[in-house]
Amino acid sequence: MKRILISAALAAGLFSAASAVAAPLKLGVSAGPYGEILEYTAKLAAKEGIEAEVIEFTDWNMPNAALQAGEIDANNFQHQPFLDNQVKQRGYDIVPVARSVVVPMGVYSSKATSLADLKPGASVSIPNDPTNGARALFLLAKAGVIGLKEGAGLNTTVADVVNPKGIRLVELDAAQLPRSLDDVDASVITLNYAVLAGLDPKKALLLEDDQSRWNLVWAVRRDRMEDPTINRFIALYRSPEVRQFIETRFNGSIIPTW
């Protein structure tokens, strides 16, 4: 009887371990193209015996809350400044473990055909939220439309602008920027709002590239940083096969960082 009980206990232990191994990775993402990329990667992972469930969120505050609570294993929807802000405000013990993709912000215009057409005193609308506002200012500075004070960082505001051309910066809610194109000479618009408004990223006067400081990141709880299954999935995500899928499927509107 004792041997039977021991065997039963061992069997139960093995069953429990097998169940733990078999549990799918739960990966949080915002709805849309990011989820498509994860679903494609999940098919590659399945060939290696890694089951993954992609969970889409419509509220941008939820993927980190779910990750912190252990309801998901990793997420891939946010850039580093957004993560830094959430960690600071909410005390999350969440860390980035790999670069993901750049969803490029762009400069669009219904009046100008190149940035050289923006004359002194031209009006340019930008997002009024701190994170994307700074991102827009860096893109305009890269284009030479404006300058930035020495040492300007990720919290840059219009107060840090060096403006020899007298460019008039109009701060608006990000969702309103496409509609502002009739009223300004150019607008700096995030890709999601540009696409929703029917704008073609290929016709932007300038797009961010894969060196953008606002690339998306893979994030995990600190205690899962060395998890081999999570890290293997991320390695598959950052593979030539997935890069090819992104470049073919999204035709330059989403940029791999690897």
On the question of pLDDT at 55 being above 60, the answer is yes
In order of 39, 59, 74, 164, 182, the CA distances from 108 in angstroms are 31, 27, 34, 22, 11
The CA distance from 215 to 62, in Å, is 20
The CA distance from 142 to 256, in Å, is 20
pLDDT, tens digit (0-9, with 9 covering 90-100), for 93-137: 999 999 999 999 999 999 999 999 999 999 999 999 888 999 999
Assign domain 25-102+213-256 to its CATH superfamily: Periplasmic binding protein-like II (3.40.190.10)
Q: How, if at all, do strands 101-102 and 255-256 pair? A: antiparallel
Say how many C-beta atoms besides its own lie within 10 A of residue 99's C-beta. Answer: 18
pLDDT, tens digit (0-9, with 9 covering 90-100), for 69-84: 999 999 999 999 899 9
∠ CA(221), CA(225), CA(226), 5° rounding?
145
The CA distance from 217 to 208, in Å, is 16
Can you tell me whether residue 255 is helix, strand or coil? Answer: strand
Among 5-9, 65-69, 208-212, 219-223, the least confident range? 5-9
pTM: 0.79
Q: What pLDDT does 7 receive?
A: 41
143: its two tokens: 């284009």
Q: What pLDDT does 107 receive?
A: 98
Say how many C-beta atoms besides its own lie within 10 A of residue 7's C-beta. Answer: 10
On the question of pLDDT at 21 being above 70, the answer is no
Can you tell me whether residue 208 is helix, strand or coil? Answer: coil
Say how many C-beta atoms besides its own lie within 10 A of residue 102's C-beta. Answer: 22
140: its two tokens: 């305009």
Can you tell me whether residue 42 is helix, strand or coil? Answer: helix
On the question of pLDDT at 158 being above 50, the answer is yes
**Cβ proximity of 165 and 145 under 8 Å:** yes
Indicate the average pLDDT of the chain: 91
Mean pLDDT of all residues in 34-42: 96
66: its two tokens: 């779910």
For 11, counting Cβ atoms within 10 Å of its Cβ (0-12 exposed, 13-18 middle, 19+ buried), the class is exposed
How far is residue 168 CA from its own chain's centroid? Answer: 29
In order of 13, 80, 129, 158, 184, the CA distances from 171 in angstroms are 60, 22, 9, 9, 11
Residue 245 CB contacts under 8 Å (≥ 6 apart), including other chains: 37, 40
Backbone angles phi, psi at 170, to 5 degrees: -110, 110
Percent of all residues in the chain with a pLDDT value above 90, rounded to a whole number: 80
User: Which pLDDT band holds residue 4 (cuts at 50, 70, 90)?
Assistant: very low
On the question of pLDDT at 149 being above 80, the answer is yes
The answer to whether the 25-102+213-256 and 106-207 domains have the same CATH topology is: yes
Assign domain 106-207 to its CATH superfamily: Periplasmic binding protein-like II (3.40.190.10)
> Residue ranges of the domains in the chain?
25-102+213-256, 106-207
Q: What pLDDT does 22 receive?
A: 56
